[in-house]
Structure 1
Amino acid sequence: MQFAGLTAGRASSFFDFYAHDFEFIGATSGSDVSSTNLLAYTATVGNGLSATISMEDPSFRRSPIYSPTSAQSAAVGNTSTAIFGQSNSLIPVVLGVDANGQPTGFGFTDGIQRNRMPDFVGVLRYDQPWGSAQISAAVHELNTGNVISQGGFLGVNSAGAALNATNAVAQRTKSEYGWAVQGGVKVNAPFITPGDAFYLQGAYAEGAQMYTGNGAYPGSYAISSSSIQGASFNQNFSDATVNPLTNQLQLSKSFSVVGSFLHYWTPEWRSAVFASYGENTFGSGARAAQGAYYGFVPATGANANSTVLSSAGVGKAGTRFYALNGNLRDTYSLYAGANLIWSPVKDLDIGVEGLYAQYGVQNGRVLDTQKFNYSPAYVNAGNAVKTITSTDVFQARFRVQRDF
């Protein structure tokens, strides 16, 4: 519903600008939430300038908090093995250490986020006959649940007492606020052909990956995803990771740039070309902290009967498997495509579109798991493995669309 400057209900996010305007499927990086719950007010300043403040549903902007594994509790006297690289909604954390800095017990943080605060979006927009320009900003809350047990807390504290909800020493994960900024410009180009237009847009975010849109096409709603099913390796698009040694959030960073050009060959035939580049980077030391966690060894001596994580065969830091594991690797995404659309009558589009995508790690190499799922033990034994730095995807589409 709209009344004067008020907008309430479901509408396109006010943060968005280009929003894949010239594309079929919206593969390029960039924010594009076409329908969300919001309450916004727009003030018209004059001479084409307007300002908007909007409260928007955070569900459509949320990627999971990174959760590498859940170590299942075992019988007293045994150990449970966790591998750096598996996924679960429970995030393992250290609950206590002894005088030598070795862990005496482990627990879990519930990684499922709650809808507690809306995303707050602010926009300045300028519209003129030559085109338009926009600056957007957003604030996005990240939170987790409390430290919980799965079959009881594991281990004992430094005093030798069994860990429980009362004497576990893990600090509660503090909520953090991610944020994003975006700037874009659209230039109408009737001097080439009536209807022609250029878009150029850039975005940067910390703890708010969906606002840069790098993972929107492969799916940021999964902890790890790939640009096509069965591709060589997955990317992580988590807004944040939980440091297992401190139980605190470490925000991820991302940026994207996208450009697009629409050209009318005739009033019935038009084409668009588009491309984008983006990067996703995890917090300093985030990956190393995960590796350190999986380097801990079972407790000995007075704590010999406690159930802790085993170091046998895990992907701890310093191992070959850790070095080649694709989890929490800083990655990039490159997309480029073009389409040709025929509109024989008004509101009817018949067209084809081709897309090229490349995604890879920003440094080093990762295991190529397209045809073989390498185990940590196999890799650490020095066996021959296939590694890659990037993977390529080609796609083509045919679409018929009728608007009413």
Structure 2
Amino acid sequence: MKLVKSLLLGSAAGLTVVAGAQAADLPVKKAVPVEYVRICSAYGAGFFYIPGTDTCLRVGGRARFEAGYVQSFSRSTGNGDLTNFRGLGRLNLDARTQTAYGTLRAFVRFELASRTGNYLTSGTQQRIANAFPALGVDTFGRAQQYVNVDKAFVQFAGLTAGRASSFFDFYAHDFEIIAGTLGSDVASTNLIAYTAQFGNGFSATLSLEDPIFRKTPLFGNAATNANLASQFNIFTGNFNVSPVIGTDAAGNPVGLAFTDVVQRSRMPDFVGALRYDAAWGSAQISAAVHEINTGNASFAINGFNASVAAPVVRAAGTTFAPRPQSEYGWAVQGGLKVNMPFIAAGDALYLQGAYGEGAQLYTGYSAQAGSYSASGAAAAIQGAGFNQFFSDAVLDPVTGRLDLSTSWTATASYLHYWTPTWRSAVFGSYGEMSFGGASRANLAAVNFNGLSPNPVTTAFSQTIRDTYQFVAGASLIWSPVKDLDIGVEGFYTQVGLKNGRAVDQNKSPGQAVAAIVNGVPVNAAGVAVATTSTTDTFHVRMRVQRDF
């Protein structure tokens, strides 16, 4: 029996040794290495290393719903909408890599939105190619898709290049939902800039910026429409001409030439900013230079106005003013932000003021009323009594020179936290826009574009009148959890003529004052014409927004 057990155990041991030897001869397969996403803590929360690289990436975005109510005084043309809606989506990509020269950063932000209603359907964004409209009878001007590469820039060793916010801007409606105050707010422009850090919070920036995003059309024939992008000329382009008086050899006026005043992009805007940042807040002084130019005379006619007098035959030796020389608009701005944790954590106050000549989009006078148009319904008021005019310059038909407009704005905004989850902002602004009196009078002398040689008619015309604008508003926002805002905001706007009155285009559309009878302005038929000097409106909007 013992012999049998010994044989069996010996056989098993032998088989085990043979099997082990054969297994050792087989190739060994290594497990595929798994690359886990690693947290990158060098640049704050939310960053992770892109697998296989030393680049940190943060993916973020926003979802937003808005609904609003806006006053309307008329149901004519595109007016009459009271409600408006918007759904917006945003995607952010922020990539950073540490190098021997400091951080190399690339940031990209895309925004897509569906807008409806008279107010949220933005003519400003449509004119600047950030949106495209519906073309239906009931939907044109009331439905719009907004598509924007809001940011796409590279930052490296003080250099910023790409699509980014203008370095001229400071407050840029930081505490507002509707962005109703006056002031520069160009969130998306193409630029290349260098920022030097001096230490102790001081920095200076020199930026070359795309002039397209700062052009307000010069005053001319086509550009005085409230909305250049009508249903018919979206695909045919826009034109803009302004008259210049021609003279004979003796210097006598004998006719008109119409000059092409569509501006060309000939040189970038030059922007400089000096900034200081500290624990108590920040301050900035910025300045900009902006070229204003025209084209050649596009065509000439004899006489001044064939409907008033017989055309004058152009005599030999008649000359017209050459293409106006380029002028250079400029603007300066000062801004101050003061943190006020001694009142409540998160409280802050902004103060900002700007002044410019021939640089209306730098002072931001048209920020809420509608930009990239020479004129528009006063402060986006549906059925307003008169239009505001925003042109950077008027071509004087007598001198043949560009007469620069002037504008200035001042804004204050205060944010207060009632509790960590409830906050409010109160804000207000005031601004003025002025044009040269001589150029307006000279345009009236040639009976151009609604102005008339009749001094009474000219006095009551809305065309290129000096205006002011006042805005005041407040908001209440609840943030029950981090990165979720549920809020409502309302504001009041008043727009007025700085002097005199104008024909009320809501009550007496298309009428002109021909005379004053017993103190009452009347038209050519002797019928009383309604006039006005101010108009106002209020807007209310609510928002639900989640950032991530």
> TM-score by structure 2 length?
0.63
Whether the aligned pair in 1 keeps the contact of 2:502 and 2:532 (CA below 8 Å) is: yes
Please, which of 121, 125, 147 is the counterpart of residue 275 of structure 2?
A: 125
Secondary structure, in 3 states, of the residue corresponding to 2:459?
A: helix
Whether the aligned pair in 2 keeps the contact of 1:136 and 1:182 (CA below 8 Å) is: yes
Please, which of 336, 353, 363 is the counterpart of residue 202 of structure 1?
A: 353
| Offset, 1:205 | 0.2
Once the two structures are overlaid, the 10-residue window that deviates more, 280-289 or 368-377, is 368-377
Of structures 1 and 2, the larger Rg is shown by: 2
**What is the one-letter code of the residue matched to 2:509?**
N
**What is the one-letter code of the residue matched to 1:253?**
T
Are residue 2 (structure 1) and residue 152 (structure 2) matched? no
Once the two structures are overlaid, the 10-residue window that deviates more, 258-267 or 375-384, is 375-384
Alpha-carbon RMSD across the aligned residues, in angstroms, is: 2.3
Determine the structure 1 residue equivalent to 2:475: 339
Determine the structure 1 residue equivalent to 2:465: 329
Residues 331 and 88 from structure 1, CA distance in 2 versus in 1: closer, same or farther, beyond 3 angstroms? farther
| Offset, 1:171 | 2.0
Determine the structure 2 residue equivalent to 1:110: 260
Q: For residues 269 and 171 of structure 1, what CA distance do their matches in structure 2 show?
A: 62
Provide, for residues 350-374 of structure 1, a one-character-per-residue CA deviation record: whole Å limited to 9, x for no partner: 1100010000100111111114313
Determine the structure 1 residue equivalent to 2:416: 263
| Offset, 1:317 | 3.7
Q: For residues 390 and 289 of structure 1, what CA distance do their matches in structure 2 show?
A: 26
Residues 24 and 69 from structure 1, CA distance in 2 versus in 1: closer, same or farther, beyond 3 angstroms? closer
Residues 385 and 157 from structure 1, CA distance in 2 versus in 1: closer, same or farther, beyond 3 angstroms? closer
Please, which of 384, 389, 393 is the counterpart of residue 528 of structure 2?
A: 384
Determine the structure 1 residue equivalent to 2:171: 18
Q: For residues 88 and 361 of structure 1, what CA distance do their matches in structure 2 show?
A: 28
| Offset, 1:216 | 1.5
Determine the structure 2 residue equivalent to 1:84: none
Q: For residues 526 and 222 of structure 2, what CA distance do their matches in structure 1 show?
A: 24
Q: After superposition, where does 1:265-344 map in structure 2 within 5 Å?
A: 265-294=418-447, 315-344=451-480
Q: For residues 294 and 409 of structure 2, what CA distance do their matches in structure 1 show?
A: 27
Are residue 401 (structure 1) and residue 545 (structure 2) matched? yes
Residues 344 and 207 from structure 1, CA distance in 2 versus in 1: closer, same or farther, beyond 3 angstroms? same
Whether the aligned pair in 2 keeps the contact of 1:320 and 1:380 (CA below 8 Å) is: no
Q: For residues 177 and 2 of structure 1, what CA distance do their matches in structure 2 show?
A: 30
Q: For residues 362 and 157 of structure 1, what CA distance do their matches in structure 2 show?
A: 38
Residues 95 and 361 from structure 1, CA distance in 2 versus in 1: closer, same or farther, beyond 3 angstroms? same
Determine the structure 1 residue equivalent to 2:12: none
Determine the structure 2 residue equivalent to 1:355: 491
| Offset, 1:202 | 0.4
> TM-score by structure 1 length?
0.85
**What is the one-letter code of the residue matched to 1:293?**
V
Determine the structure 2 residue equivalent to 1:183: 334
Q: For residues 436 and 361 of structure 2, what CA distance do their matches in structure 1 show?
A: 17
Secondary structure, in 3 states, of the residue corresponding to 1:265?
A: strand
Aligned length: 364
Secondary structure, in 3 states, of the residue corresponding to 1:141?
A: strand
| Offset, 1:375 | 3.1
Secondary structure, in 3 states, of the residue corresponding to 2:256?
A: strand
| Offset, 1:107 | 1.4
Q: For residues 153 and 380 of structure 1, what CA distance do their matches in structure 2 show?
A: 28
| Offset, 1:326 | 0.9
Determine the structure 2 residue equivalent to 1:160: 315
Once the two structures are overlaid, the 10-residue window that deviates more, 190-199 or 26-35, is 26-35
Determine the structure 1 residue equivalent to 2:80: none
Q: After superposition, where does 1:53-92 map in structure 2 within 5 Å?
A: 53-68=206-221, 89-92=240-243
Q: For residues 63 and 169 of structure 1, what CA distance do their matches in structure 2 show?
A: 26
Q: For residues 25 and 214 of structure 1, what CA distance do their matches in structure 2 show?
A: 16
> Unaligned regions of 5+ residues in structure 2, if any?
1-153, 224-237, 304-310, 515-521
Q: For residues 341 and 49 of structure 1, what CA distance do their matches in structure 2 show?
A: 33
Whether the aligned pair in 2 keeps the contact of 1:252 and 1:281 (CA below 8 Å) is: yes
Q: For residues 93 and 61 of structure 1, what CA distance do their matches in structure 2 show?
A: 26
Once the two structures are overlaid, the 10-residue window that deviates more, 204-213 or 61-70, is 61-70
| Offset, 1:219 | 1.1
**What is the one-letter code of the residue matched to 1:9?**
G
